[in-house]
């Protein structure tokens, strides 16, 4: 299975019983199959932080302006739920197999070591963009987008060190 963003071969990892395919040594993106992602709502916050520490290579060419193909279905293009160039996040989903692709580059940088106060401020701006602009409550008007937003919150809650995760999310 290859990375939809940079074509590197994905590496299977398992953390707290959740299987993830990681783009290790290249863009650091993460692929979650749908039956794996459903487990996340029952996992503790920050249980998967080491996934943000997957080794990345600097200067990898990531195709940001095109839709990515699903790494599982190959011929299906991923639907983009959230994207921001400044904060370097992207969350896509496959309409066929419902798997999620996540690129959380900027957040991964903040989560590398013990986060400083400045990291916490940057993370606050990051989540403000993600939760208040990309997942604006007034845009979550139908059950499908509400379910996707819940899933996205669960993914980030699982991955993010608690000190960097906001108390207010689209779920509360
Ligand atoms: Zn990649
Ligand atoms: Zn798919």
Over 80: is that where the pLDDT of 63 sits?
A: no
The boundaries of the domain holding residue 99 are 11-164
Q: Is residue 97 part of a domain?
A: yes
Residues in a beta bridge with 168: none
Q: Is residue 96 part of a domain?
A: yes
Give every strand in the sheet of 100-104, ordered side by side. 11-15, 18-22, 30-32, 100-104, 89-94, 78-84
Separation of CA 54 and ligand 1 centre (Å): 11
Residue (of 1, 25, 5, 16) closest to 50 by Cα position: 16
Q: Is residue 69 part of a domain?
A: yes
Is the whole-model pTM more than 0.85? yes
Separation of CA 33 and ligand 2 centre (Å): 8
pLDDT reported for residue 127: 96
Q: Is residue 22 part of a domain?
A: yes
Residues in a beta bridge with 19: 14
Please provide the average confidence, as pLDDT, over all residues in the chain. 93
Contact 146, 85 (CB under 8 A): no
Q: Is residue 169 part of a domain?
A: no
Ligand nearest to C-alpha 5: 1
Number of domains, the chain: 1
Q: Is residue 1 part of a domain?
A: no
Per DSSP, the three-state class of 93 is strand
Q: How far is 30 from 24, CA to CA, in rounded Å? A: 9
Separation of CA 160 and ligand 1 centre (Å): 20
Q: Is residue 2 part of a domain?
A: no
Over 80: is that where the pLDDT of 64 sits?
A: no
Separation of CA 7 and ligand 1 centre (Å): 6
Ligand nearest to C-alpha 72: 2
Separation of CA 109 and ligand 1 centre (Å): 16
Contact 57, 66 (CB under 8 A): no
Give the DSSP letter string of 112-150. Answer: SSS--HHHHHHHHHHHIIIIIIIT-GGG--SHHHHHHHH
pLDDT reported for residue 139: 82
Q: Is residue 60 part of a domain?
A: yes
> What one-character DSSP code corresponds to residue 171?
T
């Amino acid at each position: 299975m290859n990375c939809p963003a940079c074509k590197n071969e994905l590496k299977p990892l398992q953390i707290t019983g959740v299987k993830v395919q990681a783009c290790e040594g290249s863009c650091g993106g993460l692929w979650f199959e749908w039956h794996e992602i459903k487990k996340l709502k029952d996992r503790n916050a920050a249980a998967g932080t080491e996934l943000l520490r997957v080794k990345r290579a600097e200067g990898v060419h990531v195709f940001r302006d095109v839709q990515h193909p699903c790494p599982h279905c190959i011929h299906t293009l991923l639907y983009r739920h959230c994207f921001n160039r400044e904060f370097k996040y992207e969350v896509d989903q496959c309409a066929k197999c419902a798997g999620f692709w996540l690129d959380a580059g900027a957040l991964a940088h903040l989560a590398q070591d013990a986060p400083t106060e400045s990291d916490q401020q940057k993370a606050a701006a990051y989540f403000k963009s993600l939760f208040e602009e990309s997942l604006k409550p007034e845009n979550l008007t139908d059950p499908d987008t509400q379910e996707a937003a819940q899933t996205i919150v669960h993914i980030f809650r699982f991955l993010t060190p608690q000190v960097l995760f906001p108390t207010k999310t689209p779920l509360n």
